[in-house]
Structure 1
Amino acid sequence: MARYFDVHPHDPQPRAITQVVDLLREGGLIAYPTDSCYALGCRVGDQEGAERIRRIRHLDDRHHFTLVCADFAQLGQLVHLDNAAFRAIKAATPGPYTFILKATPEVPRRLAHPKKRSVGVRIPDSRVVQAILHELGEPLLSSTLLLPGQEEPLTEGWLIKEELDHQVDAVVDAGDCDTVPTTVVDWTEGTPEVVRVGAGDPSRFA
């Protein structure tokens, strides 16, 4: 059964955050709220965790995982950024955007797109996520919690626990979450292309 953590959205309890991070370090998979919607997350180096996400969501190996970062410095170690991308992404973060960029050698090959060698990255504007990331000291490997056959992500922690009680190790509940996923911007060709309109204003990348 999944452990259930009820945390304050703006002032998350340090003890709960430590316990969540301990689970991640032990190879756990968590469901957690972001500034857009709920996501599934594990450590970047956790190959079994990535496979568990694929099984839950019925994903193939062409799926772009997202590396969720605490800050821009961490993001810059994972993807290649030219000056234009650097300025635009720095201005838009933290926020509900996912950026697809060419991956650096820091990113395990199995996590990057097999042909483009690209990966999704984001910096969420969520105190709960930031607390988890700072305690963990590294990015999270993540994917939107959108279950097969559903059109919208789940938004309530208790319902996620009921649905995924034996498929995840912990559910972090910080109150109801939005149903709108991030806006996704593909920057792999050197210019921004909005490939999914979501919670973030897409006009700044038009």
Structure 2
Amino acid sequence: MARYFDVHPVDPQRRAIVQVVEIVRSGGLIAYPTDSCYALGCQLGEAKGIERIREIRDLDDKHHFTLMCRDFAQLGQLVQISNQVFRAIKSATPGSYTFILPASKEVPRRLLHPKKKTVGVRIPQHVVTQALLAELGEPLLSSTLLLPDEPEPLTTGWEIKERLDHAVDAVLDSGECGTVPTTVVDFSEGEPEIVRRGAGDPSRFE
């Protein structure tokens, strides 16, 4: 049964954040709010957590997982990035964008796209997500909480608790967040290619 944490959206209670991070560090899988929509998250090297996300979402091995980063210092350790691409991404973050880039050696092989050796990265704006990342001290492996055969992600913590009570270890609820996933921009070839139009304004990369 998943533990349920009701936190303030602007000033999240540190005690709750610490408890959620302890669950992540012990190998747990969490559902948490972001500035686009709810996401599933686990520790970066947690193989069982990755498989649980694949199972919940019915994903194949070509799915790009997202590494949720607190800031550019973390992001820069995970991907290979040119000065030109750095400037383009820097101007759009934090925000509702996911960027696909060639992964560095810091990223476990199982997280990479099998052919391209790329990974998704993002720096969120959501206060609760940032509090989680600050306490965790490392990126959080994430995937949009979009269930198979459903057109939109789940948007409320209590509904996620009901639907995924035995599939996740904790649900972090800070009120409703959006239903639109991030805009995904692929920079793996150097030039921006919009893969998915979402919550972030895609026009800046067109």
Q: Distance in 2 between matches of 1:75 and 1:22?
A: 22
Q: Secondary structure at the match of 1:92?
A: coil
Structure 2 match to 1:28 = 28
Q: Distance in 1 between matches of 2:196 and 2:178?
A: 16
For residue 154 of structure 2, what is the amino acid of its counterpart? L
Q: Distance in 2 between matches of 1:107 and 1:10?
A: 31
Superposed CA deviations along residues 125-150 of structure 1, whole A, max 9, x for unmatched, are: 01101111110110000000000010
Structure 2 match to 1:144 = 144
Q: Secondary structure at the match of 1:101?
A: strand
The Cα RMSD (Å) is 0.4
Corresponding residue pairs, total? 206
Q: Distance in 2 between matches of 1:110 and 1:27?
A: 16
Q: Secondary structure at the match of 1:171?
A: strand
Q: Distance in 1 between matches of 2:69 and 2:128?
A: 13
Q: Distance in 1 between matches of 2:135 and 2:56?
A: 26
Q: Secondary structure at the match of 1:73?
A: helix
Superposed CA deviations along residues 167-203 of structure 1, whole A, max 9, x for unmatched, are: 0000000000100000000001110011100000001
Unaligned stretches of 5+ in structure 2?
none
Show structure 1 runs of 4+ deviating over 3 A.
none
Superposed CA deviations along residues 30-73 of structure 1, whole A, max 9, x for unmatched, are: 00000000000000010100000000000011110000000011
Structure 2 match to 1:95 = 95
Give the TM-score normalised by the residue count of structure 2: 0.99
**1:39 and 2:48 are equivalent in the alignment:** no
Give the TM-score normalised by the residue count of structure 1: 0.99
**1:175 and 2:175 are equivalent in the alignment:** yes
Unaligned stretches of 5+ in structure 1?
none
Q: Distance in 2 between matches of 1:74 and 1:93?
A: 13
- Within 5 A, what are the aligned runs for 1:148-159? 148-159=148-159
**1:10 and 2:10 are equivalent in the alignment:** yes
